[in-house]
């Protein structure tokens, strides 16, 4: 198989295409043969099964028309119509006679021949019956013709012809179906065979394509990987040529190139290792190479030499500058970029000397030194210039601030004394206000207690008024009841009076015997009249009492809402008094807290006065320290004159208007002793508090 790998790429591709063409030719030939066989089978099915169906169906149709015509001729009385039917029967017989030979020619199997013989035999048996029916009908013997037609044997002969023809049709249909199934099976077999051969051909073609692509692309891919690794600087790649075709030759050429590159890298590694070890006199061995590679290695050696020589000079100057030994300027002329290095070294020497001179002036306290920035990227000179400028500004600000602090500390001391005196007076006023609030709170509390008692009385009066109204209402009802009872008594007295009158009348009728009864009746009548008068008087008194009670009830009804409203108002007054009492207590607490705050402020003012004394002492020390520096007088603003320092005495405790001495939470402290002179830590960066050092 190695011989195939060694073939040229063109030969490999050509062999693949030839194999694919052979597979395609085989598939095409098999397909053509199968299609031709299917066509022949289809033609045979048409000639032997489909085409004969025409004469068979024509025979069946003609026989059915004969049956219809002999039925009609037997039932028809018109001779002309009968003659027409007879002619039609004759034509149909002719059609049958012409169709039978065509049918017989298409018969191939014994089954169809046997069925056809049955058709001919049944027609031969039916023909005498047909002729007799037609003869009877044409003779005018319709009834006999009908009777003969309906004869069982005649009808059976006609049915036998139908069955024979139908049997032949069924056989033909079955044969056609069988032939169609055979054709379908043959077509399916052809399709399957073609598909199998085509699939095999495709598989072979695909396999061959994959095989060719692999044996061609794999070496190319290996070559691409090698080239990629070489481009990335990886010289450790391993290259193996498995064939002698174009790809194998390419890999062998790349293998030689890798070997050359490895040798070149080894020489460069020698130079790099020597440079890393500081051996700048080492060079690569150009004798290992030939042609352009040898010239390239020699050019590298020359380049290293041209680079190292100026570097050695530069290293010597940099070493001297780093040790503080400023060498003289280089006067030797160089070429190209080396001349630029020489000029840069001279510029570096001059710049370093100017920086040293400026630093010496600043170290001597002279901040008026002027520094010139050599370029936009001269960060060192910019930083030194900014440092000197900022240091000058800081010194000027510190001087001004020290003067301001000294003056401001005295003003703070005076303000603290005034603040302390004001705090004492405020404390006295706050205590008086607190005493007044306590008195007012006591009065409000007493008003609240009185309002609460009034509320209870008003509520009790409202309840009593309601109960009195209820009692008056009950009294009115009782008087009305008494009045009704008295009216009953009055009615009884009237009836008694009537009875006494009747008794007197009866006594008068009785004569002597009724005198005693008349006297009793008269007394009873008098008693009844007196009872009636008394009842009338009591009724009048009851009526007037009811009116008076009703008026009293109405008055109580009107009074009760007023009393209730009074009770509600008293409740609101009581609630308002309670709220006033609560508010007064809160105000009193607030005043007491304010008193404490005022006293704390007084103590704080004393401490602030002491702090201002210490601040003045520190300001004097700062002025003495900062006087070391000398700056431009224009940077100094107008310095304020020193303010005489005033000692701060101890404050007397504040006394309230009531004569009580207020509690004080503060005491005067003696000024702290100034810290001894020492170094000053100057922070050059600006601070957001710098603007606060102004004259107070």
* DSSP track, 560-611: HHHHHHHHHHHHHHHHHHHHHHHHHHHHHHHHHHHHHHHHHHHHHHHHHHHH
Contact (Cβ atoms closer than 8 angstroms) between residue 645 and residue 410? yes
Residue 75 pLDDT grade (very low, low, confident, very high; cuts 50, 70, 90):
confident
Query: What would the 3-class secondary structure string for 663-690 be?
Result: CCCCCCCCCCCCCCCCCCCCCCCCCCCH
Structure tokens at 627: 């006087």
Written as one string, the DSSP assignment of 361-412 is HHHTTBTT------STT-HHHHHHHHHHHHHHHHHHHHHHHHHHHHHHHHHH
Nearest-CA neighbor of 41 among 172, 176, 152, 164? Answer: 176
Q: What pLDDT score does 672 carry?
A: 41
227-231, 242-246, 327-331: least confident range? 242-246
Which CATH code of 3.30.70.20, 1.20.120.1530, 3.40.1450.10, 1.10.3720.10 fits the domain covering 246-363? Answer: 1.20.120.1530
**Fold match between domain 246-363 and domain 379-676:** no
Query: d(Cα 89, Cα 63) in Å, to the nearest integer?
Result: 9
Where do the structural domains in the chain lie, given as residue ranges? 2-222, 246-363, 379-676
For 541, the 3-state DSSP assignment is helix
pLDDT at 165 over 60: yes
Q: Could you give the angle at the alpha carbon of 507 between the alpha carbons of 504 and 511, nearest 5°?
A: 140
Q: Tell me: the pLDDT tens digits for 17-55?
A: 787 778 777 777 777 776 776 666 656 555 555 666 777
- Count Cβ atoms below 10 Å from residue 411 Cβ, excluding itself: 13
pLDDT band at 682 (very low <50, low <70, confident <90, very high): very low
Tokens read off for 237:
């790649």
Q: Answer left, alpha or beta for residue 366, where phi above 0 means left and psi between -120 and 50 means alpha.
A: beta
* 356 Cβ neighbours under 8 A, 6+ residues apart: 326
Q: Are 127 and 158 in contact (CB under 8 A)?
A: no
> Do 428 and 662 touch, CB atoms closer than 8 A?
yes
Residue range 349-368: mean pLDDT, rounded: 74
Select from 1.10.287.950, 1.10.760.10, 3.30.470.20, 3.40.50.620 the CATH code of 379-676: 1.10.287.950
Using alpha carbons, select from 51, 59, 87, 52 the residue that is nearest to residue 162: 59
Comparing 4 with 506, the larger pLDDT belongs to 506
* Cα 348 to Cα 152: distance, rounded to the nearest angstrom: 148
Which residues, in sequence order, are CB contacts of 80 under 8 Å at separation 6+?
none
pLDDT score for 28 = 76
Instruction: Please check whether residue 164 is in contact with residue 93, taking contact to mean a CB–CB distance below 8 angstroms.
Output: no
* Start-end of H helices in 232-322: 246-276, 292-322
How would CATH label the architecture of 2-222? Up-down Bundle (1.20)
Return the structure tokens found at 179.
Answer: 């032939």
Out of 18-32, 106-120, 162-176, 472-486, which region has the weakest mean confidence (pLDDT)?
472-486
- What rounded mean pLDDT belongs to the chain? 72
Q: Provide mean pLDDT across the span 54-62.
A: 79
Token couple for 552: 């009293």
Band (pLDDT 50/70/90 cuts) for residue 647 is very low
pLDDT score of 249: 66
CA–CA separation, 602 and 606 (whole Å): 7
Q: What's the mean pLDDT in 96-117?
A: 80
Q: What is the pLDDT of residue 305?
A: 74
Provide the token pair at 224.
């691409």
Number of other residues whose CB lies within 10 A of the CB of residue 52: 25
Look at the alpha carbons of 226, 229, 231, 236 in this order and tell me if their dihedral is positive or negative: negative
Q: How far apart are CA 401 and CA 678, in angstroms?
A: 19
pLDDT of residue 686: 52
| Contact (Cβ atoms closer than 8 angstroms) between residue 210 and residue 238 | no
* CA distance linking residue 64 with residue 632, whole number of Å: 147
The stretch 413-437 carries a mean pLDDT of 74
Write the CB contacts of 521 (distance below 8 Å, at least 6 apart in sequence): 500, 501, 503, 504, 507
The reported pLDDT for the residue numbered 95 is 84
- DSSP letter at 651? P
Q: Quick: pLDDT tens for 467-520.
A: 776 776 777 677 677 767 677 776 777 777 777 777 778 777 777 766 676 777
User: Are the C-beta atoms of 66 and 149 separated by less than 8 Å?
Assistant: no
For the stretch 122-135, pLDDT in tens is 888 888 888 888 88
- Highest mean pLDDT among 192-206, 272-286, 462-476 belongs to 192-206
């Amino acid at each position: 198989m190695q011989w195939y790998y060694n073939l040229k790429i063109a030969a490999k591709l050509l062999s693949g295409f030839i194999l694919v063409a052979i597979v395609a030719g085989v598939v095409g030939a098999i397909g053509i043969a199968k299609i031709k066989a299917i066509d022949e089978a289809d033609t045979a099915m048409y000639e032997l099964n489909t085409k004969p169906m025409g004469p068979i169906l024509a025979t069946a149709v003609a026989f059915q028309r004969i049956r219809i015509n002999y039925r009609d001729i037997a039932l028809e009385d018109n001779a002309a119509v009968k003659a027409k039917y007879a002619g039609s029967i004759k034509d149909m017989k002719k059609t049958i006679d012409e169709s039978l030979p065509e049918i017989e020619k298409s018969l191939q199997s014994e089954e169809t021949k046997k069925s056809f013989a049955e058709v001919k035999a049944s027609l031969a048996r039916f023909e005498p019956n047909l002729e007799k029916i037609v003869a009877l009908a044409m003779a005018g013997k319709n009834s006999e013709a009908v009777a003969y037609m309906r004869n069982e044997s005649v009808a059976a002969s006609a049915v036998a012809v139908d069955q024979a023809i139908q049997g032949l049709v069924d056989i033909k249909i079955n044969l056609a179906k069988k032939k169609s199934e055979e054709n379908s099976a043959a077509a399916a077999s052809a399709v399957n065979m073609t598909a199998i051969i085509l699939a095999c051909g495709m598989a072979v073609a695909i396999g061959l394509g994959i095989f060719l692509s692999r044996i061609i692309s794999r070496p190319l891919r290996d070559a691409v990987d090698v080239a990629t690794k070489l481009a990335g600087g990886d010289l450790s790649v391993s290259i193996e040529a498995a064939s002698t075709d174009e790809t194998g030759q390419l890999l062998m050429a790349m293998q030689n190139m890798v070997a050359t590159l490895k040798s070149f890298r080894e020489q460069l590694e020698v130079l790099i290792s020597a440079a890393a070890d500081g051996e700048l006199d080492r060079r690569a061995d150009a004798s290992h190479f030939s042609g352009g590679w040898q010239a390239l290695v020699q050019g590298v050696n020359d380049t290293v030499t041209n680079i190292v020589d100026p570097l050695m000079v530069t290293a010597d100057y940099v070493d001297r500058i780093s040790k503080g030994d400023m060498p003289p300027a280089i006067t030797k002329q160089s070429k190209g970029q080396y001349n630029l290095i020489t000029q840069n070294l001279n510029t570096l020497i001059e710049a370093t000397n100017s920086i040293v001179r400026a630093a010496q002036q600043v170290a001597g306290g002279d901040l008026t030194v002027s520094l010139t920035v050599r370029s936009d990227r001269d960060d060192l000179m910019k930083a030194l210039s900014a440092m000197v400028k900022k240091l000058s500004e800081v010194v000027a600000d510190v001087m001004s601030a020290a003067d301001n602090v000294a003056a401001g500390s005295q003003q703070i001391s005076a303000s603290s004394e005034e603040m302390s005196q004001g705090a004492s007076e405020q404390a006295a006023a706050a205590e008086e206000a607190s005493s007044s609030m306590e008195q007012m709170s006591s009065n409000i509390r007493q008003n609240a207690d009185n309002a609460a008692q009034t509320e209870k009385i008003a509520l009790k009066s409202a309840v009593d008024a309601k109960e009195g109204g209820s009692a008056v209402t009950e009294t009115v009802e009782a008087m009305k009841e008494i009045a009704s009872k008295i009216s009953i008594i009055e009615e009884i007295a009237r009836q008694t009076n009537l009875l006494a009158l009747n008794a007197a009348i009866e006594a008068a009728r009785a004569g002597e015997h009724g005198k005693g009864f008349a006297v009793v009746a008269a007394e009873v009548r008098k008693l009844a009249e007196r009872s009636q008068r008394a009842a009338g008087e009591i009724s009048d008194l009851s009526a007037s009492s009811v009116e008076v009670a009703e008026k009293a009830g109405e008055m109580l009804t009107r009074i009760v809402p007023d009393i209730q409203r009074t009770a509600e108002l008293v409740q609101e007054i009581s609630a308002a008094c309670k709220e006033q009492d609560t508010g007064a207590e809160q105000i009193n607490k607030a005043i007491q807290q304010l008193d404490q705050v005022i006293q704390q402020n007084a103590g704080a003012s004393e401490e602030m006065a002491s702090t201002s004394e210490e601040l003045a002492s520190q300001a004097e020390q700062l002025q003495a320290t900062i006087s070391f520096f000398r700056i431009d007088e224009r940077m100094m603003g107008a310095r304020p004159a020193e303010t005489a320092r005033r000692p701060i005495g101890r404050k007397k405790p504040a006394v309230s208007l009531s004569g009580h001495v207020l509690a004080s939470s503060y005491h005067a402290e003696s000024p702290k002793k100034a810290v001894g002179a020492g170094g000053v830590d100057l922070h050059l960066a600006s601070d957001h508090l710098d603007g606060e050092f102004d004259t107070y």
